[in-house]
Copies of this chain bind each other. A is one copy, B any other.
Amino acid sequence: MARPIVVDVDTGTDDALALLYAVGCTDLDLRAVTCVAGNAGLEQVVENTLRVLEAAGAGDVPVAAGATKPLIERMRPEGQFHGADGLAGVELAPTSRTVADQPATELLHAAITGASEPVTLVSLAPMTNVAMLLTLHPDVADHLERLVFMGGSASVGNVTALAEFNVWQDPEAATCVVESGLPVTMYGLDVFNRLVIEQEVADRWTRSDHPAVRAAGELLHRRGTRAAGFEQDYVGVLGDAGALLVLTHPELFTTEHLPVRVNLEGLGRGQTIVDRRPHAQDQQALDRDPWPVLEVALDADLAAAAQAFVDVVDALER
């Protein structure tokens, strides 16, 4: 049976690719999509999300809008990286799909608690919506299978020496999630930065007649590295979709259960501190203030994971 998921996004070139995967993958049952400000402003994120779902031929998946800004940080949209429209200029056809009346927190609450089996919550964006959900509606804990987020790093950051964008954009929200006591999987830069789709595939897709497949190819051509901007040659970092691959293909990922905290202060603000010392967990157990232990993705069979993504997009065409 397909795994029921709800996904929070800030679409975003790689959120778009992740949504295509979520719609196309027969092992996932996409029940709701909620939007948050991040890679672009909230309105643009909503419009991008609706168009991506349309292109992918998604069924009647409800979409709701959430936070227009982080809890206390100023908005710093990743315009440089995803372009002003969040999609780096990749154009998608308008759609008659509309956003729900209820806000993101209420749609998530309804979708999660209304399901007959436990739901997996996937966060691909700053965790503002998710933090408000957990604060307003703690009853979702009883209905969640797991929470998977793209964010953080157990090694090097991107927006700062130590911090990854999603966590850095709303470190308080990330704290709320990490300290929630829920079973949480962190898909951070440690694998994110290395999981790429080959240019040959992207080139093939850009010639497709299927709008979603063509979009996938075009989006991959924009998936560069932060440092270099868009002028560079093809890079093809897959991004957010990796967090879904961890769900559908756990056998391809190396994860460890490690103590994790979000650093809120000073130069390290926005860092996910992952305690990778040998025996760290034993030491923590002795601590008066034990750290939350998360499942952290540290490595992957990159080629096989990439192929799993490619297979799903190829199947959209059929």
Question: CB-CB < 8 A to A276: which residues of B?
Answer: 156, 161
The answer to whether the Cβ of A137 comes within 8 Å of any Cβ in the partner chain is: yes
**Chain B, Cβ-Cβ closest to A284:** B161
Q: Which residues of B contact A49 (CB under 8 A)?
A: none
Is there an interface contact between A71 and B172, defined as CB atoms closer than 8 Å? yes
Chain A, residues 118-144, CB within 8 Å of chain B (1/0): the string is: 000000000010011001111000000
What number of copies of this chain does the assembly contain? Answer: 4
Residue of B nearest to A65 (CB): B136
Picked from B69, B103, B273, the residue with its CB within 8 Å of the CB of A106 is: B103
Known pairs A156-B276, A158-B277, A259-B161; A138 contacts B268 (CB<8 A): no
Q: Please tell me if the beta carbons of A72 and B175 are within 8 angstroms of each other in the complex.
A: yes
Within the complex, which residue of B132, B161, B265, B266 is in contact with A132, where a contact is CB–CB below 8 Å? B132
Residue A162, interface by CB 8 Å = yes
Also in contact, A263 and B273, with CB within 8 A (given A71-B131, A106-B103, A135-B68): no
Contact A227 B279 (CB under 8 A): yes
Q: A161-B277, A277-B158 are in contact. Are A68 and B267 (CB under 8 A)?
A: no
Give Cα A280 to B161, complex, Å: 8
What residues on B are CB-neighbors of A102 within 8 Å?
106
Check if A227 sits within 8 Å of B263, measured CB to CB. no
Complex CA–CA separation, A275 to B157 (angstroms): 9
Q: How far is the CA of A172 from the CA of B174 in the complex (A)?
A: 13
- Is A176 part of the binding interface, using a Cβ–Cβ cutoff of 8 Å? yes
The residues of B that contact A103 with a CB separation of less than 8 Å are 105-106, 136-137
Inter-chain contact B72/A172, CB cutoff 8 Å: yes
Contact with B along A37-76 (1 / 0, CB 8 A): 0000000000000000000000000000011111110000
| For the complex of A and B, 6 pairs with smallest distance between CB atoms | A265-B266, A161-B275, A268-B268, A227-B279, A265-B265, A72-B175
Show 28 A/B contacts (Cβ-Cβ < 8 Å), sorted by A.
Answer: A67-B135, A67-B136, A68-B136, A68-B138, A69-B135, A69-B138, A71-B131, A71-B135, A103-B136, A103-B137, A132-B136, A155-B155, A157-B277, A161-B274, A161-B276, A161-B277, A161-B280, A172-B172, A225-B278, A227-B277, A227-B279, A227-B283, A265-B267, A265-B268, A266-B268, A268-B268, A268-B271, A268-B273
